[in-house]
Amino acid sequence: MTDEPGKKPRKVRAEFRKNREVRARDHGHTRRYAADQTSDDEQPRGERVSAKGHLSRKRTIIVSGPAGEGADAAVHDVDLATCLPGRVLRVQGLISSVQAADGKIWPCATRRLLKTISTDQRHVVAAGDRVFFRPEGSEGIIERVEPRHGVLSRTSRGRQQVIVANVDQMLIVTSAAEPDLKPHLIDRFLVTAEKMRVQSVICVNKIDLVDPATLQPTLGVFAQMGYEVLQLSVKTGVNIDRLRQLIAGRQSVVAGQSGVGKSSLLNAVDPLLDLKTREVSADTEKGRHTTTTASLIPLSSGGYVVDTPGIRQFQLWDVIPAEMAGYFRDLRPLVDLCEFPDCTHTHEEPCAVKDAVADGRLDGRRYESYCHLLAGDEN
């Protein structure tokens, strides 16, 4: 995003986090009291109750963007003549690796103003962000983050944890065995993909460990809704070429639990990546965390792919109960057929969704998953 020439920046009031500045203690009260000979009648009357100056949690900041946007949505105005555009490849602690337009990778800290504005986000910068940074020697300072689209995020400690930004495709990776297939976790990712309006592909790895026919009752439901379902095997190479075609030239994020083989699949698609992999624990049959941070990885075939850490729990962010059914492709056509406009499809009678489950026109497992998500269950 570039600023329109000749357009004046706006000023908005932004709320900052608590304790942004440490208030220095005012010493010497006793000495001043002893030296002060002013009588009580001469003392000023009234008390200031609103914080002023450095004690206030609000500041006026200069932003650019359409009028009516608050400080969270607006873009902070910076001097673009001293900044370079870049893309955040990964965030590790306080340092972000930012790739400039010429391909050079800069280690960058984040401007204090961005970190201290009060928002719902746990971290202000995420992998995939498009930013403007100011070079300082061999390092840089991220001055502003451009507006995002295609954001994969979840709820973490009551706040938004942005895992990756600016993607147009989600590869939901699961495994046929070791660990077992988790359809409810797939449903959670599908709801997120529908909300962020990106294409989703369901990738079932390790298909060589089971009889593929045993998975058809579950995977067939997803295919009937229009989702592309790939049964894959890194060992035998099944459908690896198809996966390579799907991610070429795209901005894709790979999401799934630990141990399903996300990094192994990416290595099979592009051997030049050489990502680290580990075997599933023989004792627990659960994956071991190998990928520790989301990383934006350029592909030799063009485009980027984001390898994310394994996720065992995925709690949806910013999805209210009233809109939950709209993100289920199989429930969506039935919502308008319900007698009550505010029907939750759980206890009301009559209900077109519940009738469809009873008649076998709607998969019972999918309806159960909807009820779990509506109740706010984390698993």
pLDDT tens by residue, 103-123 = 999 999 998 888 877 677 778
Q: What's the start-to-end Cα distance of the chain, in Å? A: 38
Residues in contact with 205: Cβ distance below 8 Å, sequence separation at least 6, in sequence order: 173, 174, 175, 176, 232, 233, 234, 260, 261, 264, 265
Domain 163-307, second-level architecture: 3-Layer(aba) Sandwich (3.40)
For residues 304 and 139, what is the distance between their CA atoms, to the nearest angstrom?
Answer: 24
Q: Which segment of 50-59, 109-118, 141-150, 365-374 scores lowest on mean pLDDT? A: 50-59
53 has pLDDT over 90: no
Here the tokens at position 35 are 């030296």
Here the tokens at position 86 are 């870049």
Domain boundaries, the chain: 1-21+54-147, 163-307, 321-375
For residues 368 and 182, what is the distance between their CA atoms, to the nearest angstrom?
Answer: 13
**pLDDT given for residue 214 in this prediction:** 94
* Percentage of residues of the chain with pLDDT beyond 70: 74
Banded model confidence at residue 353, pLDDT cuts 50, 70, 90: very high
Which region holds residue 171: left if phi is over 0, alpha if psi is between -120 and 50, else beta? beta
Which region holds residue 25: left if phi is over 0, alpha if psi is between -120 and 50, else beta? beta
Residues in contact with 53: Cβ distance below 8 Å, sequence separation at least 6, in sequence order: none
**pLDDT given for residue 17 in this prediction:** 57
In the numeric block, the tokens 């500045």 are attached to 21
Q: H or E element: which one contains 118?
A: none
| Homologous superfamily of domain range 1-21+54-147 | Nucleic acid-binding proteins (2.40.50.140)
**pLDDT given for residue 352 in this prediction:** 96
67 has pLDDT over 50: no
**pLDDT given for residue 71 in this prediction:** 43
The dihedral through the CA atoms of 153, 164, 222, 379 has a sign that is negative
362 has pLDDT over 90: yes
Residues in contact with 262: Cβ distance below 8 Å, sequence separation at least 6, in sequence order: 173, 254, 255, 256, 291, 307, 308, 310
Nearest to 123 by CA among 86, 164, 176: 164
Contact (CB, 8 A) for 175 and 261: yes
Q: How many CB atoms lie within 10 A of CB 173?
A: 28
Contact (CB, 8 A) for 311 and 132: no
Which span out of 4-18, 81-95, 268-282 was modeled with the highest average pLDDT? Answer: 81-95
Which span out of 223-227, 254-258, 300-304 was modeled with the highest average pLDDT? Answer: 223-227
| pLDDT tens string 18-28 | 555 555 566 66
Contact (CB, 8 A) for 165 and 129: yes
Listing DSSP states for 246-315 in one string gives HHTTSEEEEE--TTS-HHHHHHHH-TTS-----PPPTTT--------S-EEEE-TTSSEEEE----S---
Banded model confidence at residue 156, pLDDT cuts 50, 70, 90: confident
282 has pLDDT over 50: no
The overall pTM is greater than 0.85: no
Average of per-residue pLDDT across 68-88: 70
- Max CA separation in the chain (angstroms): 94
pLDDT averaged over every residue in the chain: 82
Better-scored residue on pLDDT, 316 or 223: 223
Question: Would you say domain 321-375 falls under CATH 1.10.40.50?
Answer: yes
